[in-house]
């Protein structure tokens, strides 16, 4: 008997029939596999055999990434491919449509022609009741409003959308936002009017997660739906020529359990209202700019924000909070008064449910040499009042943390808490 050929060309065939195992799979399984790869790759399977010629047209997930199409794909070729491929799809329902463009295909290069094509493509997937839509037009310039793609009203009022992400797009003022089935919304590089934010919070009754990145335009964010439990805000960014009012906003989210605000919020006034359901709070944003101490620091910020997140089990704060407490020293006559300020922060804020606290020590233009001393005093007060604290994590990103470690280890604690100290160059260690 001849030995079996172990070469790759026979590895996908059975010994007895010689049938390709992949082709022997049920068509439904093949379509599921093709639905997980970019549509440009799925379409190339037509060359395998007649049986495969139309299988790709049954896919229900459409993923198009300009960066993954290779150097052989020009912008015009990609547009032509999408223009011809989408009408051939036979699936009655599209689960997801992902469309990512690179800077090589900026809307300004094709103006009205490409805009009309985008409208046509979206019209096709919206008619097929697309559930997940991810639109990233990175080639557009957020700082040039005329270069942004305007979302059509059909998309803004789609009842089939469950998860929506878009980046570098524009919502014209006359659009009405009414996503009645939406559960997750992520908007990046977007100018949101007060009315549009009101429509999001009022009309999206099933919304569970809201994430805004590099945004501006509104002053009130009132999430009062019991279903919305996650809120993330990152970077407050103005488009070129923005003529809006003074930057400030108020957040009221009584049912949000996971809250994160990070990145740059230079010169932005942030007021936190009712957030009484919080479990996890991440306040690693910064308010620094180059205008000077009096314009940057409001010593009531720390107290107000800690009070608003007092019910959280897990809390992450930046060195801003430590440094703000250090600045209190300028108004304190002695150490007793300084300790009273610390005590007021924790007693008024209470932090009654706090179990895990993470402090991010970062460089800032206002950092003081005695920050380590102030941190020790602050944590001493924390250990005295946070009776349920289980773990304290200190992340020292820019300086030697050995003194911090020794000082923290020497502090008495009312709870049996663990101290974890880590840095960029040293792995975290527990004590």
Distance CA(312)–CA(351), nearest Å, equals: 7
pLDDT band at 428 (very low <50, low <70, confident <90, very high): very low
Strand partners of residue 163: 132, 184
Distance CA(424)–CA(431), nearest Å, equals: 18
Q: How distant, in Å, are the alpha carbons of 3, 21, 52, 204 from that of 14? A: 15, 7, 20, 53
- DSSP characters over 384-411: HH-TT--EEEEEESSS--HHHHHHHHTS
- DSSP characters over 38-54: -HHHHHGGGGS-TTTTT
Distance CA(181)–CA(125), nearest Å, equals: 16
pLDDT band at 397 (very low <50, low <70, confident <90, very high): low
Distance CA(323)–CA(344), nearest Å, equals: 16
303 pLDDT above the threshold of 60: yes
Instruction: Note whether 429 and 406 are within 8 A (CB).
Output: no
DSSP assignment, residue 183? -
- Model pLDDT, residue 201: 95
Mean pLDDT of 144-172: 89
Tokens matching residue 374:
């102030």
pLDDT digits (tens, 9 = 90+) for 200-245: 999 999 999 999 999 988 989 999 999 999 999 999 887 655 555 5
- DSSP characters over 77-112: HHHHHHHHHGGG---S--SEEEEEE-GGG-GGGTHH
- pTM listed for this prediction: 0.81
Provide CB contacts within 8 A for 147, sequence distance 6+. Answer: 106, 107, 108, 140, 141
Provide Rg for the chain, Cα atoms. 27
95 pLDDT above the threshold of 50: yes
Instruction: Note whether 236 and 262 are within 8 A (CB).
Output: no
93 pLDDT above the threshold of 70: yes
Strand partners of residue 170: 150
- E strand or H helix at 141: none
pLDDT band at 115 (very low <50, low <70, confident <90, very high): confident
Mean pLDDT of 306-323: 79
- Model pLDDT, residue 240: 57
Backbone angles phi, psi at 61, to 5 degrees: -120, 125
């Amino acid at each position: 008997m001849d030995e079996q050929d172990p070469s790759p060309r026979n590895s996908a065939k059975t010994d007895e029939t010689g049938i390709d195992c992949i082709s022997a799979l049920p068509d439904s399984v093949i379509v599921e596999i093709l639905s997980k790869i970019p549509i440009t790759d799925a379409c190339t399977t037509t060359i395998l055999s007649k049986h495969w010629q139309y299988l790709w047209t049954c896919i229900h997930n459409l993923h198009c990434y300009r960066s993954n199409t290779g150097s052989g794909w020009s912008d015009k070729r990609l547009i032509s491919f999408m223009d011809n491929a989408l009408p051939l799809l036979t699936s009655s329902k599209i689960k997801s449509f992902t469309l990512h463009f690179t800077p090589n295909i900026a809307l300004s290069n094709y103006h009205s022609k490409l805009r009309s094509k985008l409208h046509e493509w979206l019209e096709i997937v919206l008619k097929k009741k697309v559930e997940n839509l991810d639109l990233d037009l990175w080639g557009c310039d957020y700082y040039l409003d005329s270069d942004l793609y305007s979302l059509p009203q059909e998309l803004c009022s789609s009842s089939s959308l469950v998860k929506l992400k878009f980046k570098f797009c524009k919502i014209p003022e006359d659009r009405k936002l009414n996503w009645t089935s939406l559960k997750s919304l992520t908007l990046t590089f977007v100018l949101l009017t007060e009315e549009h934010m009101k429509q999001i919070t009022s009309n999206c009754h099933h919304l569970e997660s809201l994430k805004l990145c590099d945004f501006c335009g509104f002053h009130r964010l009132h999430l009062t739906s019991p279903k919305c439990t996650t809120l993330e805000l990152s970077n407050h960014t103005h488009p070129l020529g923005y003529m809006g009012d003074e930057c400030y906003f108020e957040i009221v989210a009584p049912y949000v359990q996971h809250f994160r605000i990070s990145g740059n919020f230079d010169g932005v006034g942030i007021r936190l209202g009712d957030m009484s359901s919080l479990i996890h709070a991440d306040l690693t944003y910064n308010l620094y700019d180059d205008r000077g101490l009096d314009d940057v620091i409001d010593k009531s910020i720390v107290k107000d924000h800690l009070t608003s997140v007092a019910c959280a089990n897990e809390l992450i704060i930046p060195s801003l909070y430590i440094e703000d407490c250090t600045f209190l020293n300028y108004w304190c006559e002695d150490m007793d008064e300084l300790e009273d300020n610390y005590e007021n922060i924790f007693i008024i804020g209470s932090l009654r449910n706090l179990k895990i606290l993470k402090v991010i020590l970062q460089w800032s233009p206002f950092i003081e040499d005695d920050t380590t001393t102030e941190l020790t005093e602050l944590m001493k007060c924390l250990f005295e009042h946070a009776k349920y604290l289980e773990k304290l994590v200190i992340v020292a990103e820019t300086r030697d943390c050995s003194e911090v470690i020794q000082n923290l280890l020497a502090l008495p604690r009312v709870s049996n808490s663990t101290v974890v100290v880590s840095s960029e160059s040293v792995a975290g260690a527990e004590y």
